[in-house]
Chains A and B, each alone.
Chain A
Amino acid sequence: MTVDPTVTVLLYSSLAAATAVLGAFPFVLHERLPVARIGWANALAAGMMLGAAYALMALAAQYGLGRTAGGALLGILFVYWTHLASSTEDLDLNRIDEPGPEYGYQVLFINAMHSAAEGVAIGVAMHVNISFGIFMALAIAAHNIPEATILCAILTGRGVRVVNAGGLAVATNVSQVLLAIVTYAVVAAVPILLPWALGFAVGTLVYLVLAELLPESYHQAGSTTIALVTIAAMGMVVLLGQFGG
Chain B
Amino acid sequence: MTTHPAVVVFLYGLATALATGLGAIPFAFLRSVSPRVVAFANATAAGLMLGASFGLVVEGTAHGSWQTLVGATVGVAFILGTQQVLGHHDIEFGRARGAGARRMLLMIIVMTVHSFSEGVAVGVSFGGGATLAVVITAAIAVHNIPEGLAISAVLRPRGSSVLACAGWSIFSSVPQPLMAVPAFLFVETFREALPYGIGFAAGAMVFMVLVELLPEAYGQARRPHVALVVSCTLVGMVLFQQWL
Contact = CB atoms under 8 A, between A and B. Distances in A.
Interface of B: 54, 57-58, 61, 65, 69, 72, 76, 80, 83, 203, 206-207, 210-212, 214-215, 218, 222-224, 226-228, 230-232, 234-236, 238-239, 242-243
A73 B224 contact: no
Contacts of A61: 242
A199 to B, nearest CB: 8
A90 B210 contact: no
B57 A69 contact: no
Contact of A218 (B65, B218, B224, B236): B218
Q: Is the interface of A mostly helix, strand, loop or mixed?
A: helix
B80 to A, nearest CB: 7
Given A206-B234, A210-B227, A231-B203, A238 B57 contact: yes
Contacts of A210: 214, 226-227, 230-231
Given A60-B238, A69-B239, A230-B210, 18 more contacts: A57-B238, A58-B58, A65-B239, A66-B239, A73-B235, A76-B231, A89-B222, A90-B223, A206-B230, A210-B227, A215-B218, A218-B218, A226-B210, A226-B215, A227-B210, A228-B76, A231-B207, A242-B61
B224 A243 contact: no
Nearest to A73: B235
A242 B76 CA distance: 20
Range for the number of chain A residues in contact with chain B: 35 or more
Nearest to B211: A227
A196 B234 CA distance: 17
A215 B83 CA distance: 22
Contacts of B228: 76, 80, 207
B232 A73 contact: yes
B235 A76 contact: yes
Contacts of A243: 65
A80 B224 contact: yes
A239 interface: yes
B227 A211 contact: yes
Interface string A13-33: 000000000000000000000
B110 to A, nearest CB: 13
Given A65-B243, A243-B65, A231 B227 contact: no
